[in-house]
Amino acid sequence: MVNEYKVTRGLEINISFLWHRDRSVNKSVYLSVLRHSQQLWGYSPEDKMAAEAAFGEQLFVGDQVLRIRPENEEQLRSLRELEEMEDLQIDFWLGPAKPSLPVDIRVPFQVLQSVKVFLESEGIPYTVMIEDLQDLLDQEKETMLQSRKSGRSSGTFSFSSYHTIEEIYSWMDDFVAENPGLVSRLQIGQSYEGRPIYVLKFSTGGDNRPAIWIDTGIHAREWITPATGLWTANKIVIEYGKDAALTAVLDSMDIFLEIVTNPDGFAYTHTTNRMWRKTRSVNAGSSCIGVDPNRNWDAGFGGPGSSSNPCAETYHGAFPHSESEVKSIVDFILGHGNVKSVLSIHSYSQMLMCPYGYKTEPAPDHQELNDLAREAVSALADVYGTVYTFGSTIDTIYRADGTTIDWSYENGVKYSYTFELRDTGRYGFILPANQIIPTAEETWVALLRIMEHVRDQSS
């Protein structure tokens, strides 16, 4: 093994050096070596599969998250080539977009050194953001277990902890029962695997009043978003009748809050693969599961800001609204007919974005939406100093086709925004539970600023 290691490592370095000096060297030769070297680093894929079978879940022992800072378009092209190499199983947390934006990748341990050599040979700078992903996941799981024990002994629900879908749905039962004058629960559909899709309705009465829609958890691994949704639901009940701004909103409008927008994917992150993003639907003709539910909407559907490959994280699906999780929202919003704002909450990157994502043309209401975003992120920053960027999706982050807010905007919902919550990459999708409440608190003031504006414009 040692000799094989040295030979393969040397071959990688030699090819990298030649390639760096002379670009006539066939890039595919180097990439082929990169592919075939993965079994020569540490434990084998078979060892990993055996361990996962024993534990019943996917493990990420030794996996690192690298922050890459491409400096030019050529380096971005190299990263996109790396992204297309499916057999390396590199997970792009933040994809290659533009030289001004970082790229975050989770690299499996088996190919870690090879990928680093690849980056170094290209002169692409990187740093290690997460040294061993499994260490963070073990800490996360232990924190959840301790919180669960504490909750059982005290009989309370902790908003400072992450929860399973079963715990969230059980909490909803109690929450609605305790607040019947303000909160009701609607089932707007079923997930692919048959789980109910629930929405909490906050209303002080009246029929078909102007409404605000908020969804969290559309991407399964973004746990901070449903955690923020839970805290927000509780905050609405606590503050109604006390906070003048919220009370004024709810006295004239309804709020619909979908906390677990991707039930199957979310459940899967708790049982099997913490890093799962998509839905869990079966794709005809492919062994790869799931669709990106934020590329499945009928607004620029199928464009280059999404993927036609069922194995890709941004796979758009066979047709618009193919996913029941998406179609349920579409049918609800269109059926309601008086939704004035759609606020779709994601993580991570600390951004507040408005349409468009699928085209560079400014939205007709861009100036008003941009000014309101500026006010909202300013209010957010006043809480803990957290800095957000803002603007249209395509200008702020990257081109994204088939997204929630582009669809809602094009279907008459003027105040359509996407939030990207904490952080900016130190923990990424594995934000520690001790940041849940601070994240929710600062997000709340931004949400409330938007809701106040929507109320004023809808009255």
72 pLDDT exceeds 50?
Answer: yes
Lowest mean pLDDT among 153-157, 177-181, 359-363: 153-157
pLDDT tens, 316-335? 999 999 999 999 999 999 99
- Judged by DSSP in three states, 119 sits in helix
255 pLDDT exceeds 60?
Answer: yes
Mean pLDDT, all residues of the chain = 90
Active-site pick, 178, 420, 441, 442: 420
349 pLDDT exceeds 90?
Answer: yes
Phi, psi of 139 (to 5 degrees): -65, -40
Average pLDDT over residues 56-70: 95
Tokens 């629930």 -> residue? 198
232 pLDDT exceeds 70?
Answer: yes
448 pLDDT exceeds 50?
Answer: yes
pLDDT at site 46? 59
377 pLDDT exceeds 70?
Answer: yes
Lowest mean pLDDT among 206-210, 356-360, 415-419: 206-210
Q: Are residues 330 and 368 in contact, defined by beta-carbon separation less than 8 angstroms?
A: no
- 181 contacts: CB under 8 Å, gap ≥ 6: none
β-pair type (91-94, 103-107): antiparallel
Lowest mean pLDDT among 13-27, 240-254, 394-408, 435-449: 13-27
Average pLDDT over residues 101-125: 96
Q: Is 420 a catalytic residue?
A: yes
2 pLDDT exceeds 90?
Answer: no
Query: To 5 degrees, how large is the angle CA 76–CA 81–CA 82?
Result: 95
How much is the pTM?
0.90
Average pLDDT over residues 365-371: 98
Rounded to an integer, what distance in angstroms lies between the CA atom of residue 142 and that of residue 14?
Answer: 44
Quick one: pLDDT band at residue 44, thresholds 50, 70, 90? low
Q: Are residues 382 and 334 in contact, defined by beta-carbon separation less than 8 angstroms?
A: no
Quick one: pLDDT band at residue 153, thresholds 50, 70, 90? confident
